Chain A
């Protein structure tokens, strides 16, 4: 038996919004410690990893590990039926072929229950090694979203170069070129830790997709190391995260 209750549907809506542009379907792995999800996009260029620890939930019960294969489009349709301030309870019996979502209005005067058919998804699991990133940058999530949007105007490829002087985003195409550089700020909005400078090229389309997670967090963490995927991490309060990994482009 699995049961998890969140005080607000809004955060669940935001989490699904952050996933559904990259993934059509995904499997939530529920255990007594919380919910994990990991999946590559269809083109196998990026990987998204979601972690929600049980402390994130108002109520959490999971007697036995259970995998819930969900169609994210269908889940979005169900979530549209709920108000952001409704409480939501997700329930599934052991070996169930459906999941139940119950919404309760803030004043408790309205309840609505929906059933969603579960999918049997073959999912590859990849072991994500602990990586020591040579450059770790924290910046406002809205700033990162703005940079990704502005870069996309110029080119499909974005070069991210990080050194002690700052983090620089560059794109150049037929129209011209764009360079945006952020330095560390004394107020701490932007922090930049650099062991070794790194410069890597990435597909801007994916970076823009990651910024769908912007409403979830004030700050985004970016991790860069030579010849490994870029890390873009959005914390979910103090109880979890969405991490996006993006494979770099390399010179042919």
Chain B
């Protein structure tokens, strides 16, 4: 079963 990742985990907050 593939799990959806969060977009926020790929980009850093500014």
Contacts and interface: CB of A to CB of B under 8 A. Distances in A.
A125 B2 contact: no
B5 A247 contact: yes
A172 interface: no
Contact of B13 (A46, A47, A124, A245): A124
Contact of B8 (A44, A203, A250): A44
Contacts of B1: 251-252
Contacts of A124: 8, 13
Interface in B1-14: 1-14
A47 B7 contact: yes
Given A126-B14, A127-B11, A129-B11, A251 B3 contact: yes
Contact of B5 (A40, A47, A157, A250): A250
A106 B9 CA distance: 47
Chain B contact residues, majority secondary structure: mixed
Interface residues of A, number: 24
A252 to B, nearest CB: 5
Interface string A227-251: 0110000000000000001111111
Contacts of A250: 2-3, 5
A125 B7 contact: no
A222 B4 CA distance: 20
A128 interface: yes
Contacts of A125: 13-14
Contacts of B14: 125-127
Interface string A160-183: 000000000000000000000000
Contacts of A116: none
A247 B4 contact: yes
A252 B12 contact: no
B7 A252 contact: no
13 contacts: A40-B8, A44-B6, A44-B8, A124-B8, A124-B13, A125-B14, A126-B12, A127-B14, A128-B11, A245-B7, A245-B11, A247-B4, A251-B2
Closest 6 CB pairs of A and B: A126-B11, A249-B2, A247-B5, A247-B7, A252-B3, A127-B14
